[in-house]
Amino acid sequence: MRGVFARGTSRRLAVLAAAGLLALSACSSEGGKKSEEAPEGAGPRLKIAMVTHSAPGDTFWDIVQKGAKAAAAKDNVEFLYSADPDGGKQAQLVQAAIDKKVDGIIVTLAKPDAMKDVLARATAAKIPVVSINSGQGESAKLGAIAHFGQDESIAGEAAGAEMARIGSKKALCVIHEQGNVGLEDRCAGAKKTFGGQMENLFVQGSNMPEVKSSITAKLQADGGIDGILTLGAPFAATAVDSVKEAGAKAKIGTFDLNKDLIASITSGAIVFAVDQQPYVQGYGAVDQLWLLRNNGNVLGGGRPVLTGPAIVTKQNAGQLEAFANRGTR
């Protein structure tokens, strides 16, 4: 890959840690072996809950879970997963994990204000919290001991620079979940480096036909749009359909990968993707909680552990194809 987009400012000095990120197999449907089958040296059986803002059908979170389950199998962890894109309902799921007296909680902070009170209750219950994927800027304030993900503003800047490199002058940044601070940071970052005109287009991400119709309508209304930046792999595939339906020539870039997206990059239907390595986010978060419990370790030195961004194009997509086919990229 063309590497991590970084410039040397203080906020970009976060440690890119890859400690213990070997993908192991043999995880159960709950992500861990029975205690009598625990790997040698794994330590006492732990129960860890992951609660995200994922909407149904988003393949990104399948990859996050795959990484978490691999680490859980290695670490003798019972892994519990739940999700809801509504901030209030996500907070209720975190409370349910607290009530189960779990040994650790992994959480996304797409809507940090909704999570503030419940994470304070987790801290009061002495349950360590690790955040992943979104809410890097709020993570420590809300009591998380570590954060695994990419700096969304930096990632947005990388995407904006790439949109400019491919020749786009007038682009859409498609936000599929209103109120998600990470998605908004991506578009804001992209506008900084794009150099042309970039407009946010809000769509209802849980309704893919509506996403398609919204993008198509925008392309039909403005023939000058020559670029589309989506913020998730499924939305990039839909944008391809919209471009065809509208008879437009807009080039498409996106965030995140999956098997189908790698194929689309290889074929040229999508020009690039910004990869944040979701497998690493899931794996690293579980490992962090295990390391804290068994050895008092905290990864990152008090700073976020960066898992991206890196730009994937037709030139390097083939290097990731085998990993994408097995669901780890």
Q: What stretches of 157-209 adopt beta strand conformation (E)?
A: 170-175, 197-202
Q: Which domains does the chain have, with CATH numbers?
A: 17-150+277-307 (3.40.50.2300), 152-275 (3.40.50.2300)
Report d(CA 177, CA 239) in Å as an integer: 16
Sequential pLDDT tens for the chain (329 residues)? 444 443 333 333 333 333 333 332 333 334 444 444 556 566 789 999 999 999 887 889 999 999 999 999 999 999 999 999 999 999 999 999 999 999 999 999 999 999 999 999 999 999 999 999 999 999 999 999 999 999 999 999 999 999 999 999 999 999 999 889 999 999 999 999 999 999 999 999 989 999 999 999 999 999 999 999 999 999 999 999 999 999 999 999 999 999 999 999 999 999 999 999 999 999 999 999 999 999 999 999 889 999 999 999 999 999 999 999 999 99
Whole-angstrom distance, CA of residue 105 vs CA of residue 113: 17
Is the Cα torsion angle 308, 177, 65, 108 positive or negative in sign?
positive
Q: Any residues with CB less than 8 A from the CB of 165 and at least 6 apart, and which?
A: none
* Cα angle for residues 139, 280, 117 (degrees, 5° grid): 25
- C-alpha to C-alpha distance for 142 and 73, rounded to whole angstroms: 28
- Residue 155: strand, helix, or coil: helix
Q: What is the reported pTM?
A: 0.83
